[in-house]
């Protein structure tokens, strides 16, 4: 699907504002578009006063620094993000874009102005964007940090807890007892979503199940931990294992990038962990597995294609349940999928933030930690296990 021009240009602005001067060639590589396209975007953004352009370089209109004077009151809108709600989500994240659209609908219906910030993939990218939005007068914040590993999550705790404006986390659940434990949040109950997947497969007679999942987001880590707990506790499940759905499904290299969630997996005797390209057909044969839960959707569709190339038909030879339901229905074999309430998460988060901003009685009441339940969308990629003929 082609990315809208407006979204691509917002991503350019977010990268430049978070880093300062950035080469056009670097922007093209990171955003995965041509240099010609980026150059055209930078020229247009310069024309309307959103960027400054140098020789092969895009620069922010103003340097990121604390304001020298007291900002205008929250009720005024002198420009920038004044009087707006700042909305911060990671780039290239279709799952959270659905959440974003849910929040946007509520905010627009209320007449609230929105300042959208797309955080690039570099570590700590959200903080300068949030600081810029607050310096520009944003009244409140809706944010879904990338948090590719536990370390990056913990590094955000202190500054996010001390912003001074109403803030709601979307699709993120901070660690119990952490600095963000008492911050408003709205997220999916991924334990329940994982339960739906396992329950569906068990009800169809499957007793040996593989989870091929990512390990580079809070959602991924929640699913891995939930599957480990649920599969180990179900007496019907005779064998289970956990592997990476893609070699790229782990946090990138760096001092803060140990895989999170692996400890829980490795502690369970039946589980395995493989960071090379996954040969799911071979793993199914090795474990005698007849079913798989695959996270996320794109990885699931690719793995199903590889199964077909290896002579394993879905659902005839292997039943599959995908997790995320962003594009699961679009495969040549439409996939049964767990569907977190992505749009509803955004709507609920925006409604909570508007309540905090309203000044109404109870608007500053107890912290809310809201969980919404996923649903299972059956599409025929999982079927009852046929006992072997004697």
| pLDDT value of position 94 | 80
| pLDDT value of position 252 | 55
Cα dihedral 265→267→271→273 (10° resolution): 60
* pLDDT exceeds cutoff 60 at 82: no
Residue with the bigger pLDDT between 255 and 329: it is 329
| pLDDT value of position 19 | 72
* pLDDT exceeds cutoff 70 at 203: yes
Taking residues 270-294, report their average pLDDT: 81
* Tens digits of residue pLDDT in 7-19: 788 778 877 876 7
Q: Which residue has the tokens 């408003």?
A: 184
Using the 8-state DSSP alphabet, how is residue 121 labeled? S
Beta bridge partners, 35, equal none
Q: The tokens of 116 are what?
A: 């959208």
* Position 3 confidence tier, pLDDT thresholds 50, 70, 90: low
* Tens digits of residue pLDDT in 35-78: 889 888 888 888 888 888 877 888 887 654 433 333 333 333 43
* pLDDT exceeds cutoff 90 at 268: no
Taking residues 205-213, report their average pLDDT: 97
Q: Could you report how far apart the first and last alpha carbons of the chain are, in Å? A: 48
| pLDDT value of position 322 | 97
| pLDDT value of position 81 | 53
Q: Which residue has the tokens 């990476």?
A: 244
């Amino acid at each position: 699907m082609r990315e809208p021009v407006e979204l691509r240009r917002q991503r350019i602005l977010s990268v430049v504002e978070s880093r300062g001067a950035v080469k056009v060639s670097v922007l093209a590589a990171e955003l995965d578009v041509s240099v010609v396209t980026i150059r055209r975007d930078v020229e247009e953004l310069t024309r309307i006063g959103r960027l400054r352009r140098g020789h092969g370089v895009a620069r922010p209109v103003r340097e990121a620094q604390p304001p020298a004077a007291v900002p205008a009151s929250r009720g005024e809108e002198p420009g920038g993000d004044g009087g707006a709600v700042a909305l911060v989500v990671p780039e290239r994240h279709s799952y959270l874009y659905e959440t974003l659209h849910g929040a946007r609908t509520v905010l627009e219906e209320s007449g609230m102005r929105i300042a959208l910030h797309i955080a690039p993939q570099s570590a700590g990218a959200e903080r300068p964007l949030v600081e810029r939005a607050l310096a520009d007068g944003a009244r409140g914040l809706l944010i879904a940090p990338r948090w590719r590993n536990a370390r990056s999550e913990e590094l955000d705790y202190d500054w996010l807890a001390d912003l001074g404006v109403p803030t709601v986390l979307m699709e993120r659940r901070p660690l119990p007892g952490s600095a963000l434990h008492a911050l408003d949040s709205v997220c999916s109950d991924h334990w329940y979503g994982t339960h739906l997947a396992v329950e569906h497969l068990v009800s169809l007679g499957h007793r040996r199940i593989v989870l091929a999942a990512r390990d580079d987001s809070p959602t991924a880590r929640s699913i891995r931990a939930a599957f480990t707990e649920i599969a180990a506790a179900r007496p019907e499940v005779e064998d289970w294992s956990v592997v990476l759905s893609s070699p790229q499904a782990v946090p990138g290299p760096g001092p803060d990038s140990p895989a999170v969630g692996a400890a829980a997996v490795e502690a369970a005797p039946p589980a395995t962990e493989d960071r090379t390209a996954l040969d799911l057909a071979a793993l199914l044969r090795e474990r005698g597995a007849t079913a798989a839960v695959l996270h996320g959707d794109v990885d699931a569709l690719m793995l199903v294609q590889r199964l077909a190339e290896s002579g394993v038909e879905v659902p005839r030879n292997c039943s599959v349940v995908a997790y995320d339901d962003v594009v699961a229905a679009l495969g040549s074999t439409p996939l049964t999928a767990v569907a977190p309430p992505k749009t509803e998460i955004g709507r609920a988060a925006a409604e909570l933030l508007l309540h905090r901003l309203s000044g109404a009685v109870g608007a500053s009441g107890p912290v809310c930690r809201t969980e919404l339940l996923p649903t299972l969308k059956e599409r025929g990629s999982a079927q009852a296990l046929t006992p072997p003929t004697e």
